[in-house]
Structure 1
């Protein structure tokens, strides 16, 4: 058993993106199922959970891995001031890109048309973005100032679980002419 753990740890150390992808492949469908329990669904939608797993693993984890690598290169020091700058840069650039990718991509994975995906994005983006700015600015300041670089994607993954439960809730809201109240 020890040799298996050693091999897995060595693999994740050699390929850190795989660690993030594995984390998101578990966290995102788990968050979807958690949201379904909270919504008191009578029947769990495992296809929906699989979509979340696919999207988390193959879209979000690589995006986050690339972003964290870029920000570590752009802002190598680990100070509170740098953490605040990184968080603000992220909330004005990467955050909107991730949120747009989520609503648009998940809608396409559900089989919706490009027009329907764009309509959902228009309705749900800004209310969700407002909540995200508050939450993720705080999380990112902690992440960039206190968490060692090699553990940041896992820390963000854990915070992402709660955020993804929220996203899954917003995602399941029906698109109407009015924006959802958040």
Structure 2
């Protein structure tokens, strides 16, 4: 009897839709990056264009930051939250990059949009209350970040995830109480060292960008934990 090969995995309709979303998103970002100098490149060689692209994109970011700081930081926050949740569902869990729940990613992006202005306000307020030009304030800022700010932000995040998933008040409260401790413990292993850089070598105007870049990995961890993936007697349970 001839051995039969396992059937090849079939591409499902959701995966096709997810593939379109991913391709469109990355294509748009790439197009935006490479056309930053549109209308200025007449006579430039390809090498000259490639050399100018990083500088001109950074300059465009700084101009946007100067003119519309809250909008710019919120936009970056949304992108990071979208990417973080996508990574948490796929790469961070060893799954195919198209095997994700698009609705969950969008919900996470919405939460990122809500957090954007709040994060901007917090960092502005933090610099007023604890100016970093006083050396010891850097330590105080890290302590404040990892207690008051982290606890409030993570609690709101978990509650928002629960609310968008249709949970009621008691369920949301129980979810926050159950998940806030492991998230805080994970954060204490991750963020203090990051914030040693945040409040020492990163200029004030770029702190949100720096934290957002690191957030790409942290939000993937946070999204996984907040979505209720826990190990129970060797079995992964999703709530």
Task: Please indicate the TM-score interval, normalised by the length of the shorter structure.
Answer: 0.7 to 0.9
1:87 aligns with 2:107: no
- Paired residue for 2:54? none
What is the TM-score with the length of structure 1 in the denominator?
A: 0.86
Aligned counterpart, 1:169: 224
Contact 1:80 1:141 in 2 (8 A): no
- Per-residue CA deviations over 1:62-96 (Å, capped at 9, x if unaligned) read 22111100111112233653211110122221110
**For the Cα contact (< 8 Å) 1:79–1:145, is it kept in 2?**
no
- The structure with the largest alpha-carbon Rg is 2
Indicate the residue corresponding to 1:116 in structure 2: 171
Aligned-partner Cα distance in 1 for 2:81–2:132: 31
Q: Does 1:13 align with 2:66?
A: yes
Match of 2:111 in 1: 55
Equivalent in the alignment of 2:155: 100
Deviations 1:128-156 (A, max 9, x none): 11111232222222101110011000001
Rounded Cα–Cα distance in structure 2 between residues aligned with 1:88 and 1:134? 13
Among 105, 116, 130, the alignment partner of 2:185 is: 130
Equivalenced residues, count: 177
CA RMSD of aligned residues (A): 2.6
Gap runs ≥5 in structure 2: 1-35, 40-56, 234-239
Structure 1 position 32, deviation (Å): 0.7
Return the alpha-carbon distance in structure 1 between the equivalents of residues 203 and 142 of structure 2.
16
Tell me how far apart the structure 2 counterparts of residues 137 and 53 of structure 1 sit (CA, whole Å): 25
Moved more, 33-42 or 7-16: 7-16
Decide whether the 8 Å contact of 1:104 with 1:120 is kept in 2: yes
Structure with higher helix content = 1
Aligned with 1:23 (options 67, 76, 93)? 76
Q: Which runs of 5+ in 1 are unaligned?
A: none
- Greater relative CO, 1 or 2 (CA 8 Å, sep 6+): 1
